[in-house]
Amino acid sequence: MITNLTQFAADGSSSGIGALGVDGKALLIQLITFALAYWVLRKFAFKPILKVLKERRELIEQGVSIGEQMKKDQTELEAKIAAELQQARKQADGILGDANEASRQMIREAEDKAHAKADGILKEADERIASETQRARKQLEGELVGLISEATETIIGEKVDATKDAALIDRALKEQRA
């Protein structure tokens, strides 16, 4: 084919390729130079460049797959976090419920103790009042006996002995109570 081209170019400069202003020998040299340059580039440049491009493509594909895996992991992690948060909320609600119930129970127990203590204080106060009332009655009886004794002496005009005095006082007290 190359020989055909050179013959075609050599046939005349006025016809064929020569008419276009193309020199056959120059064209052949340029084709050989192009083929040689192509072969050298392919041997020494294209293979390393293609190798780098292939490695880069693989690295990008790895990055994309890692990114997709990370998105998947993130989705799973978010789901786990949501589940854990929900479980933690349930536990917190349960703990709060238990704490509220325990506090109510403690309040009830404290109220019961306070009522029992108040009842004890009231009972003790009632006993003290009864004892004070009893003591005051005895004291009043003693004073009343003295007053009656003095009144009797004044009315009768004579001193009454202890037995007669006691009998008169008992009779007066019985009348007083009735």
Report pLDDT digits (tens) over 12-59. 445 666 677 878 888 899 999 999 999 998 888 888 888 899 999 999
End-to-end CA distance of the chain: 163
> Would you say 132 and 116 are in contact if contact means Cβ atoms under 8 Å apart?
no
> Would you say 169 and 148 are in contact if contact means Cβ atoms under 8 Å apart?
yes
Q: What is the pLDDT of residue 22?
A: 79
Mean pLDDT of the chain: 83
Prediction pTM value: 0.39
Q: Which residues, 6 or more positions from 160, have their beta carbon under 8 angstroms from its beta carbon?
A: 149, 152, 153, 168
Q: What is the pLDDT of residue 160?
A: 63
Which tops the pLDDT comparison, 63 or 13?
A: 63
Q: What is the pLDDT of residue 31?
A: 95
Taking each helix axis as running N to C, give the angle between helix 47-156 and helix 162-177, from 0 to 180 degrees, rounded to the nearest 10. 120
Which tops the pLDDT comparison, 143 or 89?
A: 89
Please give the torsion angle defined by the CA atoms of residues 164, 168, 171 and 177, in that order, rounded to the nearest 10 degrees: -140
- In whole angstroms, what is the distance from residue 99 CA to residue 67 CA? 46
Which tops the pLDDT comparison, 172 or 121?
A: 121
Q: Which residues, 6 or more positions from 172, have their beta carbon under 8 angstroms from its beta carbon?
A: 144, 148
